[in-house]
């Protein structure tokens, strides 16, 4: 019995006569899981209608799943009981590979310029907090230049709180 996810993917691909793994460049182009589903169908050479028929899924449901969220796509994605049949019908595991890539990106370790190792997910959280601080600073600077009577000292308590929160978040 295989013991790693990579081995399971390779075994399934071998049994189905498909490529072991999609090129990472293709997976990185997928913005979300719906894009991975679209790539899965594209690489299969089948139409969405054919895949829907093979897995006994109403085509309209699959069509909603495949649409981009901005175009009215269904954020709930694929029905749970249809995911494995979907990949089998397409002859590849691209949605699973995309999910694994997302997992690895969030659970990996990043080495900072000073040599300290930090979890990727912590870096992403800090990046989000710093972006929020930057936009608030831009607003504060614009307000002080605009003559709206904005006091730097009175309006900056949020900045100190945000910096302390970010420091605590990274320190965990």
Tokens of 49: 């209608």
Distances (CA, A) of 164 to 117, 121, 125, 170: 20, 18, 14, 10
Single residue among 64, 89, 107 that ends a domain in this structure: 107
Structural domain boundaries enclosing 167: 109-171
pLDDT band per the 50, 70, 90 thresholds, residue 114:
confident
Dump pLDDT digits (tens) for 39-81. Answer: 999 999 999 999 999 999 999 999 888 887 666 666 666 888 9
What does the buried/exposed string (b/e) look like for 115-134 if buried means 16 or more CB atoms within 10 Å of the residue's CB?
eeeeeeebbeeeeebeeebe
Q: Are 71 and 63 in contact (CB under 8 A)?
A: no
Percent of residues, the chain, with pLDDT higher than 90: 23
Pairwise pLDDT comparison (2 vs 129), residue with the higher score = 129
**Cross-strand partners of 111:** 117
Distances (CA, A) of 114 to 110, 111, 117, 163, 165: 11, 8, 9, 20, 21
- State pTM to two decimals: 0.57
Single residue among 54, 89, 107 that ends a domain in this structure: 107
Are 9 and 82 members of one domain? yes
Tokens of 126: 């800090």
Dump pLDDT digits (tens) for 77-99. Answer: 688 899 999 999 999 999 999 89
Pairwise pLDDT comparison (114 vs 60), residue with the higher score = 60
Are 116 and 70 members of one domain? no
Dump pLDDT digits (tens) for 25-36. Answer: 888 888 888 999
Q: What is the H or E stretch that residue 118 is in? A: strand 117-119
Q: Which region, left, alpha or beta, applies to residue 116 given φ > 0 means left and ψ of -120 to 50 means alpha?
A: beta
Are 13 and 88 members of one domain? yes
Model confidence at 12: pLDDT above 80:
no
Are 139 and 86 members of one domain? no
């Amino acid at each position: 019995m295989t013991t790693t996810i990579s081995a399971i993917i390779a075994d399934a691909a071998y049994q189905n006569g498909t490529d072991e793994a999609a090129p990472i460049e293709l997976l990185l182009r997928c913005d979300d899981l719906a894009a991975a589903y679209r790539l899965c169908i594209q690489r299969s050479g089948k139409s969405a209608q054919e895949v829907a028929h093979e897995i006994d899924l109403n085509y309209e449901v699959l069509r909603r799943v495949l649409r981009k969220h901005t175009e009215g796509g269904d954020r709930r994605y694929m029905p749970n009981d249809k995911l494995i049949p979907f990949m089998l019908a397409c002859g590849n595991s691209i949605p699973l590979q995309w999910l694994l890539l997302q997992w690895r990106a969030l659970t990996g370790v990043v080495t900072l310029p000073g040599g300290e190792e930090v979890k990727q997910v912590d870096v992403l959280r800090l990046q989000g907090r710093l972006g929020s601080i930057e936009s608030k600073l831009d607003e504060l600077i614009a307000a002080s230049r605009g003559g709206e009577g904005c006091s730097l000292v009175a309006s900056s308590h949020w900045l100190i709180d945000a910096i302390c929160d970010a420091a605590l978040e990274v320190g965990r």
